[in-house]
Structure 1
Amino acid sequence: MKASDDLPRSGHLLREEAVRMLMRSSIVAELDAHDARLVIDAMQPVRVPAGTVLMREGQRDDTDYMALLLEGQVRAESAALLPGEEVVISIIGPGQLIGEMGLLDGAPRSATCTALTEVKMATLSRTALRGLVEVNPAVASRLLLGLAQAMADRVRSTNRRLRTLSQVARALQRELDATHAVNRRLLGQDTDMGTA
């Protein structure tokens, strides 16, 4: 993503709102106002129109940034098992981050994120993050710990959902096995009646 010319970086009100959002974000809630300003100052402002794909699942060439949503909504979705179908993972709003996994590990994007409305966001590139680590390692470490905590929370949540889905799948399999057994008995009775 490239910074938009019509979203001035020096906009004091937008900067202060971004600072408050970053501080309230559950991902990096350990940052105080000074630290949050340092992170926001390392970010680039971007404005994108509704319908813009911000990142595409499986994409490798744009994994060098994450974004803090300042205004608007983004839909995160992942490809379903059937071609052409998508599974909506979440609707992301102001104060939330997207793209942090790609920023940290450089791996392909894990979801497609599309702007549902016009979106204003602040992006943090890997280069800017490295600069923050060099210039202010204490702030960078708190930011990185927050990101790691958020990802750990997501993994735990995903594990809980997988356990639930596994339980549902086992219950469905038991139902199918029982139905299959009944069908075999009924077919066996029909066969016995036909020979009698």
Structure 2
Amino acid sequence: MTSEFDVSHLPAEEAAAHLLVTPSALADLSLADAARVVAYMKPKRFKAGTIVIQEGEARYNDYMLLLLSGDIAVENELPGAGDSMVVTIIGPGSLLGEMGVIDGSPRSATCTANTDITVGILTRTALMRLLRDEPGVGARLLLAITKRMSDRLRETTRKLRTFAQMNRVLQQELNVVMNNRIRAERSSDKAEPKA
């Protein structure tokens, strides 16, 4: 997967700032604010196949990642199946773990490096330092993260409504099939001669 935003010609921190304001990250943040936020991030590289975030992990999850290069597979465990399903593949300019930097709750997905990757890590400690040092930038970052999470919640709600509608139609179809089966069995019982 490649990013539609080619930032390879830019210096590393400037490229990271440009990636932070892409639609897949925090488009509501200004480029100047993004440059300030990137200054609080630490770069890190991971080899292909490395799990960078583990679903359900409840420790060491107070950070978010900005994918700077490479591709990551995001997957969720399937309830009761003992298996998982890849839900998306993301590329440069994608943000991961923003809920963790806010609330530190267990991770909601497993993210595995498909290729060698480079990320920018913003820890909660660095976020608190940003809020102390540059409260305006920190506030705008939190608003952008909150908007992103709000957009995701609205999309999830839309999908759940669609799922509920599909489930209702399937239940109606199942009821018709079961009622027809019951009628057929009753008709069969009446038609059989009694011995």
Q: TM-score, normalised by structure 2?
A: 0.90
Identity rate of aligned residues, in percent?
Answer: 41
Q: Gaps (5+ residues) in structure 1?
A: 1-11
1:160 maps to what in 2?
158
1:16 aligns with 2:26: no
Contact 2:25/2:93 (<8 A) preserved: no
Cα displacement string for residues 74-111 of structure 1 (whole angstroms, at most 9, x for unaligned residues) = 11111112332213232221101001001100111011
After TM superposition, which residue ranges in structure 1, 4 or more long, deviate above 6 angstroms?
none
Does residue 177 (structure 1) correspond to residue 175 (structure 2)? The answer is yes
User: Which residue of structure 1 lines up, in the alignment, with residue 86 of structure 2?
Assistant: 88
- Specify which of 33, 36, 39 is matched with residue 38 of structure 1: 36
- Residue type of the partner of 1:56? Q
Q: Provide the C-alpha distance between the structure 2 equivalents of 1:193 and 1:148, rounded to a whole number of angstroms.
A: 67
Q: Are positions 1:128 and 2:126 aligned together?
A: yes
- Alpha carbons of 1:123 and 1:69: their partners in 2 closer, same or farther (altered >3 Å)? same
Give the secondary structure class of the aligned counterpart of 1:94: coil
Letter in 2 for 1:186: A
Give, in whole Å, the separation in 1 of the partners of 2:34 and 2:120: 12
Write out aligned runs for 1:144-155 (5 A).
Answer: 144-155=142-153
Report the counterpart of residue 194 of structure 1 in structure 2: 192
What is the aligned partner in structure 1 of residue 5 from structure 2? none
CA drift of 1:27 comes to: 4.1
TM-score, length basis structure 1: 0.89
Aligned-pair CA distance for 1:25: 3.9
Q: Distance in 2 between matches of 1:148 and 1:63?
A: 18
Contact 2:19-2:25 within 8 A present in 1 as well: no
RMSD: 1.4
Structure 1 contact 31–139 (Cα < 8 Å) conserved = no
Distance in 2 (alpha carbons) for counterparts of 1:17 and 1:130? 24
Corresponding residue number in structure 1 for 2:101: 103
The farther-off stretch of 102-111 and 76-85 is 76-85
- CA distance, structure 2, for counterparts of residue 140 and residue 41 of structure 1: 12
Show the counterpart of 2:116: 118
Which of 61, 64, 69 is 2:62 aligned to? 64
Amino acid at match of 2:163: L
Q: Which deviates the most, 80-89 or 123-132?
A: 80-89
**How many residues in Structure 1 have an aligned counterpart in Structure 2?**
185
Q: Is the 8 A contact 1:28 1:142 kept in 2?
A: no
User: What displacement does 1:146 show?
Assistant: 0.5
Q: CA deviation at 1:30?
A: 3.3
